[in-house]
Structure 1
Amino acid sequence: MRLTRDAGLLLIVDLQAGLMPVVDGGEQALREAGWLAGVAEALGVPVWLTEQYPAGLGGSDPRLLEALGAHRRWEKVHFDAHAEPAFAEALAASGRRQVVLCGAEAHICVLQTGLGLLAAGYEVAWLSEAAVSRRADEAALARRRLEAAGGQAVSADMVAYEWLERCDEARFKDIHRRFLKGRAPRPLRFF
């Protein structure tokens, strides 16, 4: 699968204030999801986020919301966001067939959403440095399971450059200046 901005959508699953203090790698997940959301917005790629039962877990982490520009928010009670009828209908209507997926918890809502999307015929990319759980081993197991089902592991940089495609247009220069130039290296989680 080659990711394209015309087919793509960034889906940030349940990076909620009530979860972040107990999630392993939560700070990095917030940074990477927020960074890629900025690139997505600059390229016209839709950014959607979900919140699992926000009355109990709180809304999306304020640091994430601060980093986001235009986005669409979905409340859900199913662990699989695609099992929510309104979400599934809106995604189908969007015409977007590639979903870059990240969030918490990787082994519950992110995994089940990924499996649901794959079963519905979507291409799914697992954003490795921003799919996190309370325990890193559970996030690793979830990633392996999604890959076995047909999803692909990617990094935020991979996604950004695939969406960009080329370096000889003004859009690249603007995005490079705003998001890519001087981007500090960060550890990748190779599970």
Structure 2
Amino acid sequence: MRLTREKSLMLIVDLQAALLPVIENGDQAVTEAAWLGGLAESLDVPVWVTEQYPQGLGGSEPWLLEALPGHRLWQKVHFGAHEEPAFAAALAESGKRQVVLCGTEAHICVMQTGLGLLEAGYEVFWLVEATASRRAAEARLARERMVQAGAVAVSADMVAYEWLHRCDDERFKQAHRRFLKGRSPRPLRF
């Protein structure tokens, strides 16, 4: 199954500032999510961001939100975002059937969100380098479980070039100048 920007939505789960300091590779997850999210917005692919109980865990990493000015923010109490009725209804209404999924923690909220999306009939693409947990072993195990359940493991570059689809149009040229040429992720330190 191939990704298309017309069918896609990017979902960034719980990259919250108070949680990130204890997440192994959390800086990489934020950097990759912001990079691909920025490209998504430039290609008119919706970017949705969730926050798990922000009253207790704080809000999303500010740098991520600044990098994604067109994001839609969802607050949730269920670990799986699709369990939230308003979220599920809005996703169904969007007409998007392909969800590029990333965030923290891979083995809890990201995985439960992904399983719920698969159960509801969506195609789920697990963005490997932007999905993390406190322990890398749990992130790997979550990815394995999701792939066994029917998700597809992808890299940010895979997604980017599938969305761009061809090199001879203006969108590719703009994206190449802004996002692809000389790509060097901005390192974050929590």
- Shared fold (TM-score greater than 0.5)? yes
Percent identity reads 73
Structure 2 stretches lacking a partner, 5+ long: none
Give yes or no for the alignment of 1:12 onto 2:45. Answer: no
Query: Which residue pairs with 2:112 in the alignment?
Result: 112
Counterpart CA distance in 2 for 1:80 and 1:70 is 23
Deviations 1:19-50 (A, max 9, x none): 10000000000000000011000100000000
Aligned-pair RMSD on alpha carbons?
1.1
Counterpart CA distance in 2 for 1:5 and 1:144 is 25
Counterpart CA distance in 2 for 1:63 and 1:170 is 28
- What is the TM-score of this pair, normalised by structure 2? 0.96
Give the total of aligned pairs: 186
Shift of 1:184: 3.0
Runs of 4 or more off by more than 4 Å in structure 1?
none
Counterpart CA distance in 2 for 1:5 and 1:29 is 22
Query: Which residue pairs with 1:123 in the alignment?
Result: 123
Letter in 2 for 1:175: A
- What is the TM-score of this pair, normalised by structure 1? 0.96
SS in 2 for 1:172: helix
Shift of 1:69: 2.1
Deviations 1:86-143 (A, max 9, x none): 0000000000000000000000000000000000000000000011000000000000
Query: Which residue pairs with 2:172 in the alignment?
Result: 172
Deviations 1:139-170 (A, max 9, x none): 00000000000000000010000000000001
Shift of 1:185: 7.9
Equivalent positions of 1:175-186 (< 5 A) are 175-184=175-184
